[in-house]
Amino acid sequence: DPADPDYLSRLPAEAAVNEANAAYTDGKVEEAHKLYEQARPLADEGDLRVLNGLYLTNWQLGHRDAARKAFDKLVDSGLEQKRLPLKLLFQPGKTAFNQVGDLPEQYRVWLSSLAQEGAQSNVCIKVVGHTSRTGSARLNEALSRQRADVVMRLLAQDKRVLMGRMTATGVGSKEALIGLGTDDLRDALDRRVEFRVIDCI
């Protein structure tokens, strides 16, 4: 059977993105950055992998303005595709963000961008809080909801129009990604807030 032309047309982009991802994984940030730039015209305009790669490499190379522009496009495309691959991580047992490295600085950029792009879109956002498996189910559900509330308030402070288009919910540890319950870096992904893009009712 003849190959699908659409599939064949995507092959160069896939190869370019895979090569860029491999360079980034190997810690070759400058090389990865060049490869993501080369992949950009080959891939779909809103390819989240390319935009994420450009954000990460620009950020690590100290190109803050370029990183912010890439992140704005990432959020805009994510809202359009109803898929926002963002996870804000929290300290164990608290509603304060994880302070590792430059995460606090990055989170300020993320929230500012999400508020700006979200205010210009026609979608609604469900802010979902999570916890690790440490502690009781009742306390974890309350803490996860409090984390979602904190993030929702920060977004609304930036763009008040979002208040009517966001809801906050907490699911405790029901959707733990790691599930170790060690409350350290190993299960950091379990203490998160993420975003689900939904149609406004």
Res. 48: pLDDT tops 80: yes
- Are 77 and 107 in a shared domain? no
The pLDDT value recorded for residue 139 is: 98
- Are 110 and 165 in a shared domain? yes
- Are 190 and 141 in a shared domain? yes
In CATH, what number is assigned to the domain containing residue 177? 3.30.1330.60
DSSP string covering 1-41, please? -PPPHHHHHHHHHHHHHHHHHHHHHTT-HHHHHHHHHHHTT
Per the structure, the complete domain to which residue 51 belongs is given by 1-81
The strand ranges marked E within 21-151 are: 87-89, 124-129
Q: What does the mean pLDDT of the chain come to?
A: 94
What would the pLDDT profile of 116-166 be if each residue is shown by its tens digit? 999 999 899 999 999 999 999 999 999 999 999 999 999 999 999 999 999
Q: Which pTM value belongs to this model?
A: 0.89
Gap between the Cα atoms of 76 and 82, Å rounded = 10
The pLDDT value recorded for residue 12 is: 87
The pLDDT value recorded for residue 124 is: 97
Q: Per the structure, how many domains does the chain have? A: 2
CB contact at 8 A, 148 and 125: no
- Are 173 and 108 in a shared domain? yes
In CATH, what number is assigned to the domain containing residue 75? 1.25.40.10
- Are 107 and 198 in a shared domain? yes
The pLDDT value recorded for residue 31 is: 97
- Are 68 and 106 in a shared domain? no
- Are 26 and 90 in a shared domain? no
Residue 34, both tokens? 């060049």
Res. 80: pLDDT tops 80: yes
Q: 61 vs 7, 12, 35, CA distance in Å?
A: 34, 26, 14
Q: How confident is the model at residue 11 (pLDDT cuts 50, 70, 90)?
A: confident
Domain final residue, candidates 48, 81, 114: 81
- Are 31 and 120 in a shared domain? no
How many residues are there in the chain?
201
Gap between the Cα atoms of 17 and 11, Å rounded = 10
- Are 92 and 73 in a shared domain? no
Tokens 């559900």 correspond to: 141
CB contact at 8 A, 189 and 177: yes
